[in-house]
């Protein structure tokens, strides 16, 4: 059974590229472009992983992260162009180049930490 990934990304081109790459790697992807859509879907979708952009049109991604943690135990990976300001000291930012970014399969989701 393929893992369910909830992609929360408001940039259509980025969402399309990430969805395609993940689906080509065997994952099921549900993409939404607002925080309110993510919160509404999470109860029914039960994602194994959440990929979250921080700069959403209706909410701050860090605020949404806290709300999502109250609704699911799925790990959240933040994918954002935002690397300064409110993030300082709260998350570790790792730049990546698309050609070096590889998708790793997992047999079962594991909780790494909060």
CATH number of the domain that residue 49 is part of = 3.40.50.2300
Of 35, 42, 43, 40, the closest CA to residue 62 belongs to: 35
Segments forming the whole domain that contains residue 20: 4-85
In a domain, 102, yes or no: no
Q: pLDDT at position 82, please?
A: 60
pTM: predicted TM-score of the whole model, two decimal places: 0.75
In a domain, 39, yes or no: yes
Q: pLDDT at position 61, please?
A: 87
- What ranges in 1-114 are assigned the alpha helix state H? 12-24, 35-45, 61-69
> 86 near 50, Cβ under 8 Å?
no
| 33 Cβ contact list (under 8 Å, min separation 6) | 8, 9, 10, 12, 15, 56, 57
Q: Give burial (CB, 10 Å; 0-12/13-18/19+) of 101.
A: exposed
Terminal-residue alpha carbon distance, the chain: 26
In a domain, 18, yes or no: yes
Place of tokens 């393929």: 2
Q: Which residues of the chain have pLDDT under 70?
A: 82-114
Q: pLDDT at position 2, please?
A: 86
């Amino acid at each position: 059974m393929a893992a369910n990934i909830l992609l929360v990304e408001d940039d259509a081109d980025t969402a399309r590229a990430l969805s395609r790459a993940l689906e080509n790697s065997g994952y099921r992807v549900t993409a939404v472009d607002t925080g309110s859509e993510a919160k509404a879907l999470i109860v029914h979708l039960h994602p194994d992983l959440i990929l979250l952009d921080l700069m959403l049109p209706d909410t701050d991604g860090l605020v949404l992260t806290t709300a999502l943690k109250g609704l699911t135990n799925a790990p959240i990976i933040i994918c954002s162009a935002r690397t300064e300001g409110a993030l300082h000291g709260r998350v570790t930012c790792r730049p990546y180049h698309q050609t070096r970014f590889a998708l790793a399969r997992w047999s079962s989701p594991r909780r790494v930490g909060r």
